[in-house]
Each structure stands twice: as structure tokens, then as C-alpha cells.
């Protein structure tokens, strides 16, 4: 909660706030965030959408948190994406190698933003992560996905 209320909040609120923030080692979702009823079709990987009011009751500032609890044991290296707009689509790709973590993404309009966490040993799976995202779009038949601009952060 402390990480969210200090570091993350500073980056996504106020003047100079970013529109989208990818968070690795996200820990737990802030207690003040509310789970939505939106459901996502994912390859066996947990993915939830939360609304996080960083304002007040009289002047709300709602942000959307897309959260994947991939670290069920230590609850430390979870992945999240924070956005000031609700995602048009949520994309979850399975881990590209047997030791990798999944790749989570959101699409807003024609832009797709992925959050990933490469392995600690010099990111030896980073090439496989990039290739996994590239191949996902390369094999698309959906014109919206074919025309998408995408980026990976992690």
C-alpha cells in the first residue's frame, strides 16, 4: 500500500502526470482500489480491473488498475498497468519460456501497452518476450489489432 500511495500516486496524479504507467514488482493492489465486475479471457493467468480513486469523494480522480497476481507465494513481483482511461481491451500472453512470467497489456484506441518483468539474470528471456509480442500481432486477422501500435515496458 505504501508503494502505491507514495511512488505510484506521484507519477499518475497532479501536473505532469503520466497517462499510463507500467508497474513491475507491484506487490498488492492498494486497499483503496475497488474491484470491477469486468471479466477477461486469459490463458489461465489471473487478471483483474480495479478503479482507484486518488481524489476525494467530492472531487474524484478515478484511475484504472489492471493487475495480474503472478506471484501467488510472496505477492511481490506482480504486474500492473495504471491508466487514466479504461482499456478497450485487455491482452494477456502466456509466459514465452518455461521460467518466464506472463505478459499483460491494455489497448486504448490504436495503442497497446504491455507490462512485463524479465528474469533477474540479465533478462535472459527478454528476447523471447519481445518475440512473443511481435508474433502475437504478426498473426492477427483482426484489423484493429493489425493496425495497432504497441510497446513493451519492463
Q: Which three cell numbers stand for residue 93?
A: 500472453
Helix (H), strand (E) at residue 68: strand 62-68
Residue-level pLDDT at 41: 85
Domain spans in the chain, listed from the N-terminal domain onward: 2-153
Provide mean pLDDT across the span 66-80: 84
pTM: 0.93
Residue whose C-alpha cell reads 488498475 in the numeric block: 65
> What are the DSSP calls for 112-133, one per residue?
EEEE----TTTTTTHHHHHHHH
Residue-level pLDDT at 134: 96
Provide mean pLDDT across the span 132-151: 94
- Looking at the chain, the whole-number percentage of residues with pLDDT higher than 90 is 73
- Choices 3.30.230.70, 2.120.10.30, 3.90.420.10, 3.60.10.10: CATH for 2-153: 3.60.10.10
DSSP 22: E
Provide mean pLDDT across the span 7-21: 94
Asked if residue 1 has pLDDT above 80, the reply is: no
Amino acid at each position: 500500500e505504501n508503494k502505491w500511495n507514495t511512488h505510484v500516486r506521484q507519477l499518475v496524479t497532479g501536473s505532469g502526470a503520466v497517462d499510463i504507467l507500467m508497474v513491475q514488482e507491484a506487490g498488492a493492489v492498494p486497499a483503496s482500489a475497488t474491484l470491477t465486475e469486468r471479466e477477461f479471457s486469459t490463458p489461465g493467468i489471473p487478471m483483474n480491473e480495479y478503479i482507484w480513486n486518488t481524489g476525494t469523494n467530492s472531487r474524484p480522480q478515478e484511475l484504472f488498475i489492471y493487475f495480474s497476481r503472478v506471484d501467488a507465494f510472496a505477492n511481490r513481483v506482480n504486474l500492473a498497468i495504471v491508466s487514466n482511461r479504461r482499456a478497450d481491451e485487455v491482452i494477456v500472453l502466456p509466459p514465452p519460456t518455461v521460467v518466464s512470467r506472463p505478459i499483460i497489456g491494455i489497448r486504448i484506441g490504436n495503442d497497446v501497452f504491455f507490462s512485463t518483468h524479465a528474469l533477474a539474470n540479465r533478462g535472459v528471456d527478454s528476447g523471447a518476450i519481445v518475440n512473443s509480442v511481435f508474433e502475437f500481432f504478426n498473426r492477427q486477422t483482426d484489423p484493429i489489432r493489425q493496425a495497432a501500435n504497441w510497446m513493451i515496458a519492463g
